């Protein structure tokens, strides 16, 4: 373990987050999502697991390290409820609250029809499957940038 890093974030997840660049996206999904089929189309090529974690905790852990994109209006996307696209499940507002709190701002969250969401998910950098039982626990997060200080060279 490392200091200051959420224990839900495995070495594989940390590697993927560090490998992602600005504008890359990651899919966090529940146990019902066809994660393996989607993941084989991504850059990472496989599902990474956050066993024992629900979606609010998983998104909180990821956003403790990964900034959301500020250059696009909706850096978070979710799946619309099939047959009732205007439905607002409690999970949607819970995730919105988590995201807003961590980012310290109102973050736009878009909603895509099922097959539009699957297409967007296939274009993600990677897939992280949680233990959340769902339903509709599928969220795409787009990575932003951090304004870091310059790396200082040390002469030994």
Domains and CATH numbers, the chain: 11-139 (3.40.1650.10)
**Is residue 1 predicted with pLDDT exceeding 80?**
no
Annotation marks residue 136 as catalytic: no
pLDDT value, residue 40: 97
Higher pLDDT, 49 or 2: 49
Annotation marks residue 22 as catalytic: yes
Which residue in 106, 115, 105 sits closest to 138, CA to CA?
Answer: 115
Helix (H, G, I), strand (E, B) or coil at 129: strand
pLDDT value, residue 150: 85
Dihedral pair phi/psi, residue 88, rounded to 5°: -120, 100
Annotation marks residue 69 as catalytic: yes
**From 21-25, 45-49, 84-88, the region with the lowest mean pLDDT:** 84-88
Residue of 22, 24, 30, 84 marked active site: 22
Residue 143 CA to residue 145 CA, distance in Å, equals 7
Residue of 69, 84, 113, 136 marked active site: 69
Query: Which residue in the block uniquely carries the two structure tokens 């209006």?
Result: 73
**Is residue 155 predicted with pLDDT exceeding 90?**
no
pLDDT value, residue 146: 87
Question: Could you say which DSSP state residue 42 is in?
Answer: S
């Amino acid at each position: 373990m490392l200091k200051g890093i959420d224990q839900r974030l495995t070495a594989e997840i940390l590697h993927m987050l560090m490998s992602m660049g600005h504008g890359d996206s990651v899919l966090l999904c529940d146990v019902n999502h066809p994660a393996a089929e989607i993941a084989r189309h991504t850059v990472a090529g496989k599902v990474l697991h956050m066993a024992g974690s629900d979606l609010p905790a998983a998104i909180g852990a990821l956003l403790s390290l990964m900034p959301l994109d500020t250059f696009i209006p909706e850096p978070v996307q979710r799946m619309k409820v099939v047959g009732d696209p205007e439905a607002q499940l409690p999970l949607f507002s819970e995730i919105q609250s988590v995201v807003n709190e961590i980012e310290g701002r109102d973050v736009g969250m878009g909603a895509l029809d099922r097959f539009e969401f699957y297409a967007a998910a296939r274009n993600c950098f990677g897939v992280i499957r949680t233990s959340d039982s769902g339903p509709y626990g599928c969220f795409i997060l787009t990575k932003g940038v951090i304004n870091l200080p310059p790396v200082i060279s040390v002469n030994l």
